[in-house]
Amino acid sequence: MPPVCDPTGTEPCRVTLAFLPDWTQPVVWAVNAVVIGILLYGLWTRWRLWKQGAAGSTGASFGHRLRMLLVVSVFQRKVVRRRFAGLMHVLLYTGFIALGIGTTLVALNVDILAHLDIDILRQAPYLAFEFALDLMGLAFLSGLGMVFFRRFRQRPKYLRNERPDLYLPGVLLLLILQGFVLEGLRLAVLQPQWQEWSFVGYALSLVFRAVGVDESFATVAAGGSVVTLTPTAALAWLYGGLWWFHAATTFVFAASLPWTKASHFLFSPANTFFERAVPYGRLDKPFDIDALAQPDAPQPTLGAASTKAFTRFDRLQLDACTVCGRCTSVCPAWTTGKALDPMRVILDLRKAMDLEAKRKPLGAPLPDVVGYDELWACTTCMACMQECPVSIRHVPFIVDLRRNYALELGRIPEEAQGMLRNLETNYNPWGIGWDQRARWAEGLGVRTMADAAAAGEPVDVLYWVGCAGAFDDRNRKVAQSLARLLQRAGVRFAILGPEERCTGDPARRLGNEYLAQTMIKANVETLNRYAVKTIVTACPHCFNAIKHEYPDFGGTYEVVHHSVFLERLLAEGRLTPTKEVRELVTYHDACYLGRYNKVYDAPRDVLRRVPGMRRVEMEMCRDKGFCCGAGGARMWMEERVGEKVNHRRLEHVAATGAAVVASACPYCLIMLDDAAKAKDREDIARSDIAEILEKSL
């Protein structure tokens, strides 16, 4: 039996394999080697599976990767966005890490340093070690209690279709309880002077002594005779048996990591480390459409017909999912009764990846495995990606599956087909003649780039009007307000007029990459011919496409959203609001301006500068804002299932009591306008921030 530790003396407080036979340590080493071999084999099989994907690059430096790992995984930036679930996970995470470090230190001290006559766990450090482990063990146990409460009592709606995974919390609960019981038995036997520092173990040791556990093990059979043991010796036997049970549980848990939900302990940090550095608003260029016209050239893959079309890093994302359901809980399609479940999309793709690796048939084209209605219900609002605690990018997966529907399977919703035909014939989704793009500006004295070039007049800024500003009756008024504001501020600007085409955003998000690239390349040629440097637009979809996706096609410009540009003009004193606008206004965050491009403050600053205006925020605002329902080409597809997304958003507006809802996106303005008319809420005015600002001048 090891000596009793005395922190006031010179005797070391070494943690040993107390009460165990001499052969215990070599057996533990041998089993550890087997466990490590099984663990590495499991990781190797998943790595080999990821490698079956297409080659790709994250485009990130090591420094960027390390920062993302620290911010997202180590410091749990996204996890803590929710109170109950965030606290639960922080308790589990910090407790697990602390106990893991403690176990590692014990193994290091006993298995390695002891042979070098070095002891790092002695005296005052050992007391702190014991106290910290008990404290973090209690935190871990509290987190597990919250897990079981959440899964069996609270049971969020977005998790009700998922079978509760009891293996992971169950084995973790078993491990922590075993650890506490073993510590209690050890202290009951040794009874060291410092035992109060291990306060949980000490409390259990008092219980063991009080209930007379030792009396139950007072005698054992040995060699045909009865041997009477002392109470401490009896507890030592009990300790040894439980120690081996605890060791076996630990070995099984460690070896099973790659095959259970616990794999996210490894794969989720790996995913945050290898997350793509490209902006969320950029869809990677999947292929060059020119290759389609060259029969002798290798033909590109038209969307995701197989999970092997995804890059290796994308396939890692599928394994990183923790099945927490946060993505689903914030999805506007799911919350309004549509079939789309972002978490289920990832899990279906993971299952398909495993089946394809085993060369088993999927039974249907890959997009159908996920679901036709599910994929077309997506508004590409990015709420799922914003909320995902492990940085999975759902939207690119969905768009890639849509590409396969659009380009290979030829299955696009009928309403969307009409929009695509309008793009092909008149270069805009409304189908109005392309030669009428500049009619909104009649009588305003707005120049076109062609007129300015012919007259040799300088142009500092190109005003990209966008299809909605040019052809939608409601948004024409916004375009006129913005033009007058630019003129009043003395900005030398011009428009493209009939030379402007749709940016390709709706076609691209719909999956028709061929048509989208046709629009993009034509626009880039026009912009480069005029040597455009700076572009201002009131449409977040145009802003996002030109800023993030046009550089892939040779079009690199300074692109500024009109909310940011107006805020600059106000700050410079080139626009000075003086007339009071006495209204209570709430601002609706457009997804492609807010979550995609982090523009939250500029539109609010514009409203703040309007005299007399009072502002109130909706509960779901800024990066938690709720979609209007128009993104991802949903503007041209009718909602026939569940509640309409724009109707739900209007309810959020009405709940604030605001008389005006302000927006900075033509799509949002259209959707909010339609909702107000359909729900008979004409008492809530709908305005763009440019219109409100103009009223105050």
Least confident of 215-219, 284-288, 395-399: 215-219
Same domain for 308 and 452, yes or no, is: no
Same domain for 286 and 334, yes or no, is: yes
SS3 (DSSP) at 54: strand
Same domain for 450 and 550, yes or no, is: yes
Total domains in the fold of the chain: 4
Q: How confident is the model at residue 235, as a pLDDT?
A: 65
Same domain for 461 and 545, yes or no, is: yes
Least confident of 127-136, 350-359, 630-639: 127-136
pLDDT range class, residue 120, cuts 50, 70, 90: low
Q: Is residue 9 part of a domain?
A: no
- Pick the more confident residue, 39 or 11: 39
Same domain for 227 and 141, yes or no, is: yes
Check which CATH number belongs to the domain holding 549 and give it: 3.40.50.1860
Handedness of CA 570, 572, 575, 576 (dihedral sign): positive
In this predicted structure, the answer to whether residue 297 has a pLDDT above a threshold of 80 is: no
DSSP symbols for 270-298: HHHHT---S-TT-------GGGGG-TTSP
Same domain for 311 and 172, yes or no, is: no
DSSP symbols for 559-586: EEEHHHHHHHHHHTTSS---S----EEE
Q: Is residue 511 part of a domain?
A: yes
Same domain for 607 and 484, yes or no, is: no
C-alpha 429/C-alpha 413 separation (Å) is: 15
User: Per mean pLDDT, which of 4-13, 146-155, 526-535 is the most reliable?
Assistant: 526-535
Rounded to an integer, the average pLDDT of 181-192 is 80
Check which CATH number belongs to the domain holding 596 and give it: 3.40.50
Q: Is residue 41 part of a domain?
A: no
In this predicted structure, the answer to whether residue 581 has a pLDDT above a threshold of 60 is: yes
Please report which helix (H) or strand (E) contains residue 463, including its range.
strand 461-464
Q: Is residue 165 part of a domain?
A: yes
DSSP symbols for 156-167: -GGGTTSPP--H
C-alpha 148/C-alpha 152 separation (Å) is: 6
In this predicted structure, the answer to whether residue 226 has a pLDDT above a threshold of 60 is: no
Q: How confident is the model at residue 371, as a pLDDT?
A: 93
Rounded to an integer, the average pLDDT of 217-225 is 41
pLDDT, one tens digit per residue, over 631-651 is 999 999 999 999 999 999 999
What value does the mean pLDDT of the chain take?
A: 87
Q: What is the DSSP letter of 71?
A: I
CA neighbor of 675 nearest in space, from 691, 663, 690: 663
Same domain for 75 and 204, yes or no, is: yes
Q: How confident is the model at residue 350, as a pLDDT?
A: 95
Same domain for 465 and 542, yes or no, is: yes
Q: Is residue 342 part of a domain?
A: yes
Same domain for 120 and 161, yes or no, is: yes
Q: How confident is the model at residue 76, as a pLDDT?
A: 83
Same domain for 352 and 257, yes or no, is: no
Least confident of 294-298, 330-334, 576-580, 657-661: 294-298
Percentages (nearest 5) of helix, strand, coil residues in the chain:
60, 5, 35
C-alpha 670/C-alpha 654 separation (Å) is: 17
Check which CATH number belongs to the domain holding 299 and give it: 1.10.1060
Residue % of the chain over a pLDDT of 70? 90
In this predicted structure, the answer to whether residue 23 has a pLDDT above a threshold of 50 is: yes
Least confident of 35-44, 90-99, 553-562: 90-99
Q: Which of 250, 270, 290 is the last residue of a domain?
A: 270
Question: Cβ contacts of residue 548 below 8 Å, gap of 6+?
Answer: 278, 279, 281, 282
Q: Is residue 45 part of a domain?
A: no
Q: Which of 216, 240, 270 is the last residue of a domain?
A: 270
Q: Is residue 476 part of a domain?
A: yes
Rounded to an integer, the average pLDDT of 307-311 is 90
In this predicted structure, the answer to whether residue 681 has a pLDDT above a threshold of 70 is: yes
**Total-model pTM:** 0.88
Q: Which of 382, 403, 424 is the last residue of a domain?
A: 403
Q: Which residue has the tokens 């069996």?
A: 152
In this predicted structure, the answer to whether residue 47 has a pLDDT above a threshold of 80 is: yes
Question: Cβ contacts of residue 551 below 8 Å, gap of 6+?
Answer: none
In this predicted structure, the answer to whether residue 217 has a pLDDT above a threshold of 90 is: no
User: Per mean pLDDT, which of 144-153, 255-264, 449-458 is the most reliable?
Assistant: 449-458
- Pick the more confident residue, 380 or 302: 380
Please report which helix (H) or strand (E) contains residue 43, including its range.
helix 24-51
Same domain for 614 and 679, yes or no, is: yes
Rounded to an integer, the average pLDDT of 671-683 is 95
Q: Is residue 311 part of a domain?
A: yes
Q: Which domain holds residue 288?
A: 276-403
